[in-house]
Chain A
């Protein structure tokens, strides 16, 4: 039966090895408030004109620690409790792009590859030799090159855009699961408690079984 365990462990490792069609650029998302606030700002400038984040309210942004004045500027005359809906009606979007831009609240969770997918997608725009804008990560995309990576030529500008993409993805990662940090923090306590408990149970078990001849 021990071989069963080994086989299962090997199986778990092999799951990660299954290949994706397009190699994605790995990104380490930030979880600090500064980067996420910057990401929120970039997102409000570059994405929010078309995309909604319907599961996030302005109040959530303030609660997370984003500057209230900035949030007030973004929301205009909308209530604190209203979600981040787009400024673009669905009909207008259909007319401009032929598609309603997807909601971004869960975008990071809704794609294979997660944050790395969104990051690679944002940076994958380039002009083909015939001058057509292409995106190999998602060739059917209707979205224009929002960050302008295709037209960026010098290295400094590209680095700046990459940083911006990382900020946005960090914000989206937070938005997809706002309790992520809290969950992990609690997880360490739970694991610590369980390890102590299991160790104690081990000693009690040995003591009880020690009574047997």
Chain B
């Protein structure tokens, strides 16, 4: 009977072939390490956020006179409302943590390189959507930090040439952050996750076209690929177990460690907090914003700092395949970059003094330097490595890649002659 039902479906919808193509026959490199679990984890966190968010929305009031109280209503009176709210608030941090690790893995192993540029860029789009969603969600509790964070960030749009002030008013729906801002942020905060789901589908289509990269950085022979199901479904589920353990420690035992105390004070437009800090996941970018003395320059620098990742396929032109695996200098660069992110995070967290301002400016230069110097450093590194000798598999891959490039060029030239 089940066989007949599936046959009936298959005549009308490609169910079996879809499962076969995307799961049971989908080739996945067998050498993937646990760093490759984080994409799956990001998907799980997205689902957690959507589900807890929908239930929170049933009890939340988007109205400046009610929203702060409605959060307390959820925390105190709704059945397991505290669990929903803490899961959602912790989930935001978990989402960024998982995404940052996912991105760090891509950078380390050079997974953004050809042919995976579009996969990387769709991921970049997802990062921007995630940041926008998190930023708008942070306004909803209507605490002091919510209000002043939204005020500071919407103010940045004043840097827009010609229409700066109008854009700020258009975004807020009012001259200051107020009821109009809250309701539209709520509407968009509810909408964006579904756009993210759509973008994730695109991200997965791109992934299933080019397939996963792997730690060796070399395309594997067919014998080294194994089907995604059951091998990686179980590996992902095992990783999910670990993730949920860490997540639960935060949700049940340290839920307030990720909530700024000032956000437990209702928003007060008449009183600026002593120092306005964004959530931890925005700190490095916030530090870059503050490091540039001029508003327009700061906004441009902050925007660029997020977008720099998208340029990686152009910046990293080394012929050595993969990422840091065969490239010792790239590896050092990668760790220095992480260190620089931590320094920027610290600078973003502390109230500005002359000293932290200077550290922030140096760290900002290092941040952009670590992207913009990649073409030059990788050229030198490549020459040095070739002279020193590379493993035969890598040389074979480099030669075959050089060959395809040459062929493409020849084809192009021939087409040009015909025309």
Contacts and interface: CB of A to CB of B under 8 A. Distances in A.
B72 A205 contact: no
B233 to A, nearest CB: 9
B231 A209 contact: yes
Interface in A198-213: 198, 201-202, 204-205, 208-209, 212
B393 to A, nearest CB: 21
A3 B335 contact: yes
Contact of A190 (B75, B86, B248, B256): B248
Interface residues of A, number: 36
Contacts of B242: 198
A176 B71 CA distance: 13
* Chain B interface main SS type: helix
Interface residues of B, number: 44
Contact of B108 (A1, A11, A114): A1
Interface stretch (B122-130, B257-265, B364-372): B257-265
A3 B342 CA distance: 14
Given A11-B342, A184-B252, A114 B261 contact: yes
B249 A191 contact: yes
A189 B252 CA distance: 10
Interface in B64-110: 69, 72, 75-76, 82-83, 86, 101, 104-105, 108
Interface string B121-154: 0000000000000000000000000000000000
Contact of B241 (A177, A198, A212): A198
B388 to A, nearest CB: 23
Given A190-B252, A194-B244, A208-B230, A179 B261 contact: no
Interface of A: 1, 3-4, 7, 11, 18, 55, 60, 105-106, 109-112, 114, 176-179, 183-184, 186-187, 190-191, 194-195, 197-198, 201-202, 204-205, 208-209, 212
Interface of B: 30, 33, 35, 69, 72, 75-76, 82-83, 86, 101, 104-105, 108, 226, 230-231, 234-235, 237-238, 241-242, 244-245, 248-249, 251-253, 255-256, 259, 261-262, 264-265, 335, 338-339, 342, 345, 349-350
24 contacts: A1-B33, A1-B105, A1-B108, A4-B101, A4-B335, A11-B342, A55-B69, A60-B76, A106-B72, A110-B262, A110-B265, A176-B264, A179-B76, A183-B82, A186-B83, A187-B248, A190-B248, A191-B252, A194-B244, A194-B245, A194-B248, A205-B238, A208-B230, A212-B30
